[in-house]
Structures are given as C-alpha cells and as structure tokens.
Amino acid sequence: MITREQLASISSRADVLSRRYYFLEKEDLIQEGYILLFELAKKDLTILQKHKAINNYFSNVERHAQYQQRIEQNSSSFLVEPDTAYKDDSVEEILERNEITRTLLDKLTRQEVVVVEWLSRGWNLDQIATTLGVSRNRTRELINHIIQIRKEIEDE
C-alpha cells in the first residue's frame, strides 16, 4: 500500500534535487520515484524498509548528480585544440592530424574528453581518479579506451 507520506516524500525530494542540480527534471524524478513506489508496493516490505529504499534511491540520484556536476565544472573551460604543426610537417600531415583529433573528440564520451584534457595538462592517474571519484584501474581503462579509439581512427 502506498501512503500519502511516501508520495509527499518523493515529491519534496524531487523538488529539492531539481533546484539543486539544474540538469535534473522534477517531473522525471517524481515519475521514477512513483515507479519505485509501485515496485515496492508489490513486495512484502515494512514501511521502514520502503522508506530506506526511497532514501537509497534519492541518495544514489544525488551522488550521480554531484558526479555529473563535478565533471561539468572541470570541463567547462575545456577546449581541445588540434595537434600543433611541426616545422617539417606538410600541409597534408597537419590537416590529417586535425581531422583525427576532431574525429576522436566526436567519438569520445564527455568523461573521456575530460580525461584527455587533464592528461594534456600533465595530471597523473591518481589526480584524475580522485577528481572523477573512480579507481585508478577505471582511469587506466578510460585512457586505454581513448588510445584504442585513436588507433582505430588512424587505421581508417
């Protein structure tokens, strides 16, 4: 059974999160919260267990929003310039590198683009991992994926 208190709790939490994080839509959060309530109503749970499930859901939403906000803040000034020209490069080589860079940036996720920026600034794995809130291994996987995409573009 769904209570008014549960409905009000979802509505108020959605309102708070949508005001705190501009990219979260209140209506979407409410709809997802109501779906969660319907799923919880099907299970034989106590009111306290349902309340904990609702809290966990909105805590996870907020954690993800904080992560997204941190990435946006760190990447807001990001502008990748194409590879610079070297003294002995021909025009064709310069144009090819520029095209590879543009294609690479188009294929990368927002998180991977941020990692590229930080690497270009000289950040190490630990700094990137800490800022993104992920492990060193996950950061290493991101970098390897970026390298793999770059190689695929160059091979085309």
Same domain, 71 and 17: yes
CATH number, domain at 106? Answer: 1.10.10.10
Asked if residue 89 has pLDDT above 80, the reply is no
Whether 86 is in a domain gets the answer: no
User: Between residues 58 and 84, which one has the greater pLDDT?
Assistant: 58
Same domain, 14 and 69: yes
Same domain, 17 and 68: yes
Instruction: Return all residues near 80 (Cβ < 8 A) that are at least 6 apart.
Output: 101, 105, 113, 116, 117, 120
List, for residues 31-79, the tens digit of each pLDDT value.
999 999 999 989 888 888 988 999 999 998 888 888 877 766 665 444 4
pTM: 0.49
Same domain, 71 and 98: no
> Residue 75: which H helix or E strand, with range?
helix 47-75
Q: Which residue has the tokens 């590229």?
A: 116
* 95: helix, strand or coil: helix
Whether 97 is in a domain gets the answer: yes
Residue 59 token pair = 């805590």
Whether 150 is in a domain gets the answer: yes
Q: 98-106: long-range contacts at Cβ-Cβ below 8 A with a sequence spacing of 24 or more?
A: 100/150, 100/153, 100/154, 103/153, 104/146, 104/149, 104/150, 104/153, 105/80
List, for residues 91-145, the tens digit of each pLDDT value.
777 778 778 888 888 898 888 888 888 888 888 888 888 888 888 899 999 999 9
For the chain, the domain total comes to: 2
Domain that holds residue 139: 91-155
